[in-house]
A and B are shown apart, each in its own frame.
Chain A
Amino acid sequence: MKKMKLVMVGNGMAGVRTLEELLKIAPHLYDIAVFGAEPHPNYNRILLSPVLAGEQTLEEIVLNPLAWYAEHGIRLHLGKKVVDVNRARRVVIAADGTEEYYDRLLIATGSNPFIPPLPGSDLQGVIAFRHIADTNVMIETAKTHKHAVVIGGGLLGLEAANGLMSRGMDVTLAHVAPWLMNRQLDDVAGDLLRKSLELRGMKFRIETHTQELVGGPLGRVTAVKFKDGSETPADLVVMAAGIRPNTQLAEKIGLHCLHGIVVNDTMQTVTDPRIYSVGECAAHRGIAYGLVAPLFEQGKVCATHLAEFGIGRYTGSATSTKLKVTGIDLFSAGNFMGGPDCEEIVMSDPYGGVYKKLVIQDDKLVGACLYGDTVDGSFYFKLLRDGRKIGEMRDKLMFGESHLGDAGHQGQNKAAAMADSDEVCGCNGVNKGTICKAIKDKGLFTLEEVRKVTKASASCGSCTGLVEQLLMFTAGGDYSAAPKKKAMCACTDASHQEVRDTIRAEHLLTIDSVYRRLSWRTPNGCSSCRPAVNYYLISTWPKQAKDDPQSHFINERSHANIQKDGTYSVVPRMWGGTTNSSELRRIADTIDKFKIPTVKVTGGQRIDLLGVKKEDLPAVWQSLGMPSGHAYGKTLRTVKTCVGSEWCRFGTQDSTRLGIDLERALWRMYAPHKVKLAVSGCPRNCAESGIKDVGIIGVDSGWEVYVAGNAGIKTEVAHFFVKLKTAEEVLEYAGAFLQLYREEGWYLERTVHYVARVGLDHCKARVIDDAANRKALWERLQFALDGEPDPWFEFDKAGVDARQFQPVGVL
């Protein structure tokens, strides 16, 4: 069969990325031809600034060498500007007469620098900063000339000015707005930036309009004249007054353009179904994006449609700006200027070179501007995008996410200061050198890509800020963006909340019905979404929805914890951490009988038998004769207790008794994630109640209940929830809180994250203030737990597939 023909006009980052995505999924579908007006293969335009500053070479910033085009059989027409497209004949025509026929046309012409219509803008020595050629002119001019003027104090202008200065030129930067980077920074941060650059020798003409460019007798620019009458000498003028989508060709051939080439959610032009457009030239829902991440997202979507898969929609991106300008970290997002209805929290340390401003409206973060220290940028961006109430964290907000109990990367927050051998991601053991190398070698641009390839920040995520910084200075400035809504996984566009809501609203009872209703892309989901959907079904419709054993992680199928060598660990339940001689004797006998190599006391006051072979599990359980400790599941794990008033001379309450009662009431409880409780008999808090999902502390007059503490990756002290008089009340309140979490939490969300998302006030309103609702929650939990089997002894009832313990054959 003859291949279809795909022609791409434009040879830049977004377009070539689309081809890469296409070749990945449909390598043989098209015969491809590419036109590029520049005489270079695809290179990383963002890195032109380091090239100008002499930190990198042109060879280093090439993303796809000529060999790549050849390897994929792409006909590359370099240095040929496309001047026309005959849509009736489906032919692309270049200035030199080269023609290519197409079945599909991809327009990725990017954007053009905006050249203000000033007298003298056509003089020799007046350039923009967009192409390799511009960069070369600047480098050459700096060798022979002295004076440079940059017009425009945005990112590009500042980088041009900085680069020229580092090449020895005397640079004046003229900017019409009252402060630098007025689109990305507020006045204070803009002034800090100006002062820091002035110290390095850059000159500024702020709030200054240019009148004209003055030429000499040989037609070369000699000076810049400003509207206030002053003049400054100039051998080189760089125009950096912004960019405009390059729609020249598209308009000429009659494609609908409005702030860019108008495309739909599949990146198809609205005018001609054979023509697609991606990148800075495309206007999607009225927005032409200029950051790499959304453009690559567009490329991915476009590729699936070019490949005729017909899946994937681009629904827009929320963007934030995270930049490194001349060595200074900057971040801004949302409405960082504030306004009459907004409040601001400001931290300013001009001497230390750090400034942070957070803008709050209606108890929500609506904007942020960070200068000098941007490690918490992604945390603020997430808060902003989620529109979460920030009331109860307001006093800590300025200190960001990493102020407390962040483990795994030695408390580092400045990636640039780290050595290549320093560990960035403590979960997966990834050091800085490995990440930087992967970014460079594999051409990674987004956080998601780095996570996929290196696993850095892919587990607990606490080093995300560091990884972003590494991306920034390895791949270049602007990369940050996020989908407006976070899909559950790649199998669907639906979010966790949408899945939960749909299951409840439409009374869905099976995984398949959820997949059908929400148009899942995969037949059986993936290892990430299937357990989540299964949990949502059984937690929403207990006794109605049937649990699917194959939708559980192995630990919950074999009811033991898989270890790294494929053996299992077994933890029998000891109510409230109490045991007796006959249990201990059975444990000892079991250890001997099954030659169990390691026995260890856990943090939750239980005994862990490690190294049990899978075949032995049922016999080990029988031999122990103790209930399952559920140490393997997203379930109630343990209730840790101190000895309390029964023995302790300081004890004020019988904490052991309450712990046992709580554990007996709540065991076998599945939840979005594991749940740990503790009960202490006095404020000395020997059971460490302050870092538990529900922690209880006895005082002389009753019990204090704390919720949503955490001792894991992120140490978080539990919040005070309520003070109660009796143990019965504690059971009801704790149970109701946990049922709320079970009904509303997203899968794999610990209580600390759940409460952070919905707010403590939300939980208090439903559990403490509303007595009827509390009783209803507590009853629903008891209903769900009533008659639940012990999976170690009631295989049939618990859906344990006993066949798994035996091989089908032995050789």
Chain B
Amino acid sequence: MSDWKVFCRVDDIPVLGARRIARTGSTDVAIFRNSEDKIFALLDRCPHKGGPLSQGIVCGDSVACPLHNWTIGLDDGCAKSPDAGRTQRFSVTVDGGNVLLDVEELTTLALGPTLIPAVAALGAETAVAERPAV
């Protein structure tokens, strides 16, 4: 059963920006707004090394992760080629300028603490690249 709840107004999210829904004990959910005022929701975790996608740069219908610049599709949560990976997407709808998410999904999908397996396993010696050079 869907359980839609209003979390904010469209205008509460910056154009080409994002806000977060904090989930106690689980990874946050990021809500994005693009230049056409379309709203998207993804788990706030890049499939690469767990970067918070809500802090990325939004362009068109994708977001660039702030850690290593992977590009993730806002619609499907899939990394753009040649990178491969997928992050959980959440249903989101807009009604009269209100942004609604399904609490059922928020409380059942992608639960658990912020897991960053790649980083945790490799530890501090993992070289972290700067963003690609121009």
A524 to B26, CA, bound (A): 32
- The reply to whether the CB of A504 lies closer than 8 angstroms to some CB of chain B is no
Instruction: Check if A566 sits within 8 Å of B133, measured CB to CB.
Output: no
> How many residues of A are counted as interface, with CB atoms below 8 angstroms from the partner's CB atoms?
49
Instruction: Check if B133 sits within 8 Å of A554, measured CB to CB.
Output: no
Instruction: Check if B69 sits within 8 Å of A460, measured CB to CB.
Output: no
A810 to B59, CA, bound (A): 27
Please indicate the chain A residues that have their CB under 8 angstroms from the CB of B116 in the complex: 564-565
Across the interface, B114 reaches (CB within 8 A) one of A557, A566, A810, namely A566
Known: A801-B14, A803-B12. A811 touches B24 (CB 8 A): yes
- The reply to whether the CB of A199 lies closer than 8 angstroms to some CB of chain B is no
Instruction: Check if A527 sits within 8 Å of B16, measured CB to CB.
Output: no
Instruction: Indicate the member of B15, B23, B133 with the most A CB atoms within 10 Å.
Output: B133
Please indicate the chain B residues that have their CB under 8 angstroms from the CB of A489 in the complex: 134
Across the interface, A811 reaches (CB within 8 A) one of B13, B49, B106, B134, namely B106
Known: A523-B35, A566-B50, A809-B22. A749 touches B59 (CB 8 A): no
Known: A426-B127, A429-B126, A562-B55. A807 touches B21 (CB 8 A): yes
Instruction: Check if A527 sits within 8 Å of B82, measured CB to CB.
Output: no
Instruction: Check if A565 sits within 8 Å of B129, measured CB to CB.
Output: no
A459 to B8, CA, bound (A): 38
Across the interface, B17 reaches (CB within 8 A) one of A532, A746, A801, namely A801
A459 to B116, CA, bound (A): 22
Across the interface, A528 reaches (CB within 8 A) one of B8, B28, B34, B134, namely B134
Instruction: Check if A550 sits within 8 Å of B15, measured CB to CB.
Output: yes
- The reply to whether the CB of B119 lies closer than 8 angstroms to some CB of chain A is yes
A809 to B12, CA, bound (A): 12
Task: Give chain A nearest CB distance to B66 CB in angstroms.
Answer: 4
Instruction: Check if A526 sits within 8 Å of B59, measured CB to CB.
Output: yes
Instruction: Check if B19 sits within 8 Å of A807, measured CB to CB.
Output: yes
Instruction: Check if B57 sits within 8 Å of A807, measured CB to CB.
Output: no
Known: A531-B57, A550-B14. A452 touches B82 (CB 8 A): yes
Known: A458-B132, A566-B51, A746-B134. A524 touches B114 (CB 8 A): no
- Mask, B81-115, CB within 8 Å of A = 1, is 01000000000000000010001001100000010
Chain B, 12-63, CB within 8 A of any chain A CB:
12-17, 19-24, 28, 31, 34-36, 49-52, 55-60
- 7 CB < 8 A contacts A-B: A451-B132, A459-B132, A528-B132, A566-B50, A803-B19, A809-B22, A811-B107
Q: Which residues of A contact B (CB under 8 A)?
A: 426-429, 442, 451-453, 455, 458-461, 488-489, 496, 522-528, 530-532, 549-551, 553-554, 557-558, 562, 564-566, 746-749, 801, 803-804, 807-811
Q: Which 7 A-B pairs have the closest CB atoms?
A: A527-B64, A527-B57, A808-B8, A807-B22, A554-B55, A554-B66, A550-B16
Q: Which residues of B contact A (CB under 8 A)?
A: 7-8, 12-17, 19-24, 28, 31, 34-36, 49-52, 55-60, 64, 66-67, 69, 71, 82, 99, 103, 106-107, 114, 116, 119, 126-134
